[in-house]
């Protein structure tokens, strides 16, 4: 996004050496822990409501505060990333998330708890796109789709850590020790980043001087002007929110309070969802690499499949059978890897020195949708729950999750719109230079 110098030629483009693998592995561990911090509220939502004596709408503000900061910071973080590099951003993000978990561990009132989730969201915002920039600078371009999917997929192991282990720790030792342990885990990985991560394979490669505001605005406009960037944003929007909201906040209460699952069984289903993402990620990456002109077909397929299974779950009379809820979390598992297709659009539509900013723009999409859905579910649950009732009913959850259909419709229309715009631009570029451009839809 800024006037950062383009990457120097890689000395081992065909086969990255051990330093590249080490740098990527540590950066990936930082992202995994960021997902752990991000997801830690989901499996503790019922306990959080009791600890802070709040209703569903107030509980939603915890996640909304976290995700709103995450989404709002994506473009600024993209600019800072192009200016300062991945290592500094990963360190800053890690410090903020550890501070957030420390505050959450000792919080006894809502204001401090919300402030803690804001810190977690701010640090989380700096992590994923920093890892993607490391991939762009350390590995050859043809490996980018696979490594981007691998990053998003392996990162979901953080959700596994925040499911059964964190629930067990919470119920065994209590709220404060559980979140202090989470902060200690974040500190350990932060130290690894300080030791092992470098921005580029070239010691002499430095970032550019900070640009003036006019340059930032102009280059942001250039990134936004690419139809592929906006196609990536809406692809991220339509594929991510359902699985994200289920994993981040409302899935656990839906399973425990609505479907009658035990806390352990609900946490196990969330773990299954994370494991499913590990399986879906490489498959989606392979399909994107093999069929770059049909990535939008994958976006539509994932969206349609998710909506279809939710329809069956919400329409089922009474509590859904366990096999159907297993099917739901398996389908939701494809949402995270599916949203990564948006980043592949940003990569192929923008030069490498603008990847941080373009990726930041794309990353806003799914989290804005998630914020809207988290708020809507909380409000509808409160409206549909009679006064004096301690927990929402299954019917209340049905009405709340039905809000998703509006977001799916909006996202699908926009993906179709910008897919056509990207194809028209690609055709015009081919006509102008008589050489096929690498970007595809």
pLDDT tens digits for 391-430? 788 999 999 999 999 999 999 999 999 998 888 877 776 7
Q: Give the pLDDT confidence score for residue 28 in this predicted structure.
A: 94
- Across the range 13-23, mean pLDDT stands at 68
Q: Give the pLDDT confidence score for residue 1 in this predicted structure.
A: 37
Q: Give the pLDDT confidence score for residue 436 in this predicted structure.
A: 53
Q: Give the pLDDT confidence score for residue 240 in this predicted structure.
A: 93
Structure tokens at 115: 């402030």
d(CA 224, CA 398): 37
Which backbone phi and psi does 99 adopt, to 5 degrees? -60, -40
Per residue in 266-302, pLDDT (tens digit) is 888 988 888 888 888 888 888 887 888 889 999 999 9
Q: Give the pLDDT confidence score for residue 441 in this predicted structure.
A: 58
Per residue in 62-93, pLDDT (tens digit) is 888 888 898 888 778 877 887 788 999 999 99
Q: Of 311, 85, 86, which Cα lies nearest the Cα of 210?
A: 85
Comparison of pLDDT for 424 and 216, the residue scoring more = 424
Q: Do the beta carbons of residue 347 and residue 136 sit within 8 Å?
A: yes
Residue 181 has pLDDT above 50, yes or no: yes
Q: Give the pLDDT confidence score for residue 305 in this predicted structure.
A: 96
Q: Domain segments of the chain: what residues? A: 18-199+213-433
Q: Do the beta carbons of residue 153 and residue 282 sit within 8 Å?
A: yes
Count the residues in the chain. Answer: 441
Q: Give the pLDDT confidence score for residue 316 in this predicted structure.
A: 95
Taking the C-alpha atoms of 214, 220, 226 and 230 in order, what is their torsion angle to the nearest 10 degrees? Answer: -150
Quickly count: other Cβ atoms within 10 Å of residue 153's Cβ.
Answer: 24
Regarding the domain with residue range 18-199+213-433, which homologous superfamily does it belong to in the CATH classification?
MFS general substrate transporter like domains (1.20.1250.20)
- Across the range 32-40, mean pLDDT stands at 90
Residue 344 has pLDDT above 90, yes or no: no
d(CA 26, CA 394): 42
Q: CB-side exposure of 380: number of CA atoms within 13 Å?
A: 19
d(CA 424, CA 76): 30
Q: Give the pLDDT confidence score for residue 4 in this predicted structure.
A: 35
Per residue in 148-173, pLDDT (tens digit) is 778 877 887 787 777 678 878 888 88
Which backbone phi and psi does 154 adopt, to 5 degrees? -65, -30
> In the 8-state DSSP scheme, what is residue 73?
T
Q: Do the beta carbons of residue 185 and residue 34 sit within 8 Å?
A: no
Residue 254 has pLDDT above 90, yes or no: yes
Q: Three-state SS for 6?
A: coil
């Amino acid at each position: 996004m800024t006037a950062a110098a383009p990457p120097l030629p890689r000395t081992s483009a065909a086969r990255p050496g051990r330093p590249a693998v080490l740098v990527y592995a540590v950066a990936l561990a930082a992202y995994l822990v960021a997902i752990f911090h991000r997801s830690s509220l989901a499996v503790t939502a019922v306990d959080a409501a009791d600890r802070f004596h709040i209703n569903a709408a107030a509980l939603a503000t915890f996640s909304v505060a976290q995700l709103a900061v995450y989404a709002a910071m994506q473009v600024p973080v993209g600019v800072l990333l192009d200016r300062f590099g991945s290592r500094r951003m990963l360190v800053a993000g890690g410090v903020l998330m550890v501070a957030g978990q420390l505050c959450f561990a000792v919080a006894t009132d809502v204001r401090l708890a919300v402030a803690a989730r804001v810190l977690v969201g701010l640090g989380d915002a700096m992590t994923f796109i920093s890892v993607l920039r490391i991939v762009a600078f350390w590995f050859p371009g043809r490996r980018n789709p696979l490594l981007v999917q691998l990053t998003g997929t392996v990162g979901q192991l953080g959700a596994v850590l925040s499911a059964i282990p964190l629930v067990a720790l919470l119920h065994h030792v209590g709220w404060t020790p559980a979140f202090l342990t989470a902060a200690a885990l974040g500190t350990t990985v932060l130290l690894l980043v300080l030791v092992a991560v470098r921005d580029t394979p070239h010691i002499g490669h430095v970032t550019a001087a900070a640009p003036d505001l006019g340059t930032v605005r102009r280059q942001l406009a250039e990134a936004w002007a690419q139809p592929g960037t906006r196609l990536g944003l809406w692809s991220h929007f339509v594929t991510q929110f359902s699985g994200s909201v289920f994993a981040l906040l409302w899935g656990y209460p839906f399973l425990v309070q609505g479907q009658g699952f035990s806390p352990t069984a609900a946490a196990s289903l969330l773990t299954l969802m994370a494991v499913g993402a590990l399986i879906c990620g490489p498959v989606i990456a392979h399909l994107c690499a093999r069929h770059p002109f049909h990535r939008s077909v994958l976006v539509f397929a994932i969206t349609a499949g998710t909506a279809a299974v939710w329809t069956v779950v919400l329409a089922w009379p009474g509590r859904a059978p366990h096999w159907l809820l297993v099917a739901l979390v398996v389908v939701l598992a494809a949402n995270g890897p599916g949203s990564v297709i948006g980043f592949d659009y940003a990569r192929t539509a923008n030069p490498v020195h603008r990847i941080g900013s373009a990726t930041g723009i794309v990353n806003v999409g799914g989290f804005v949708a998630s914020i809207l859905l988290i708020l809507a579910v909380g409000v509808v649950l409160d409206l549909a729950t009679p006064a004096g009732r301690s927990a929402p009913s299954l019917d209340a959850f049905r009405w709340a999750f039905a809000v998703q259909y509006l977001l799916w419709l909006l996202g699908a229309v926009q993906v179709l719109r910008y897919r056509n715009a990207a194809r028209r631009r690609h055709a015009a570029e081919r006509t102008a230079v008589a050489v096929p451009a690498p970007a595809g839809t």
